[in-house]
Each structure stands twice: as structure tokens, then as C-alpha cells.
Amino acid sequence: MTRKQEIAEFLSREFPQTKCTVEEVGHLTATVRHEVGEPELRPGGTVSGPVLMMTADVALYVAILNEIGLVPLTVTTSLNINFMRKPAADAAIIGVCKLLKLGRSLAVGEVSLYSEGSDQVVAHAVGTYAIPPSTGAAK
């Protein structure tokens, strides 16, 4: 089983409420997808902020787990998001994460969010995760 499959199964088992799926994982990177339907929309015909934030958070989590293994108690300590333009109401949200720092106790990454089919960033997030001791993460 690949690391991508392991992470996807872990998310399905531990976070069945998420609609995010793992599209790709790589060295210090991850791409996730969140399908958009009526429940994800807010007035004005756009994807809600909480959906964008969740997608960014999951992308960070997946990128980190790809590097350190399945460490469930790796947790978000901060997430800052800037909403740049209106996402399409009829397209999935794609979150592309790049880890900027992976230490023993903290990981920092950025996520660019897109409406599927567009190369324009709809939101940009930066987040920090706490990594529990003894995970073997890089220094």
C-alpha cells in the first residue's frame, strides 16, 4: 500500500465527516480535493469560508503525515487564511500545500486554494501544526 493510500484510509476512518480526498502526496507537498455541492455554498453563490479553511487544514495535515507517518495527535496550532476571489460554486476546491518548515515539534506550511479548472488562487492559507514528541520528524 502506498503512503497516499495509507493516508486516505486513515482520513476515511478517523475523519469520516470530511469530504476532502487525497489527490497527490510528494516530498513536503500534498494536494487535496473537496467536492462542492449545495451544502458548501453560502448566500451569493460562492463556497463558504469554513469549507475553504477545512480544505487548507486537511492539505497541511496530509503533507505533514506524508513526512512523519500516521501520527494522529499532530494538531493545528494556528491557521491564517486570506480570501482572494470568489470561488466557483460549481467546481471542486483544490488545496495545494507546500511545507515550509518541518521540525521536531512544529511544522509550518502554506496552501493555495483553487476552484478546479482555474489557475487563479481563490484563497491562501498559512498554518502551523504541533508534532507530538518521538515521531522521528526531520530536524
Segment 27-74, tens digit of pLDDT: 999 999 999 999 999 999 899 999 999 999 999 999 999 999 999 999
- What is the pLDDT at residue 137? 55
Rounded-to-integer distance, Cα 75 and Cα 116, Å: 27
Contact between residue 125 and residue 55 where contact means Cβ atoms under 8 Å apart: no
Phi (first) and psi of residue 54, to 5 degrees: -65, -45
Rounded-to-integer distance, Cα 27 and Cα 126, Å: 18
- Over residues 128-138, the mean pLDDT reads 78
Distance of CA 61 to the CA centre of its chain: 6
- Per cent of the chain over pLDDT 70 is 96
User: What type of residue sits at position 111?
Assistant: V
Rounded-to-integer distance, Cα 93 and Cα 70, Å: 24
- What is the pLDDT at residue 61? 98
Q: Which of 125, 132, 63 is nearest to 93 (CA)?
A: 125
Q: Does the structure show a pLDDT above 70 at 111?
A: yes
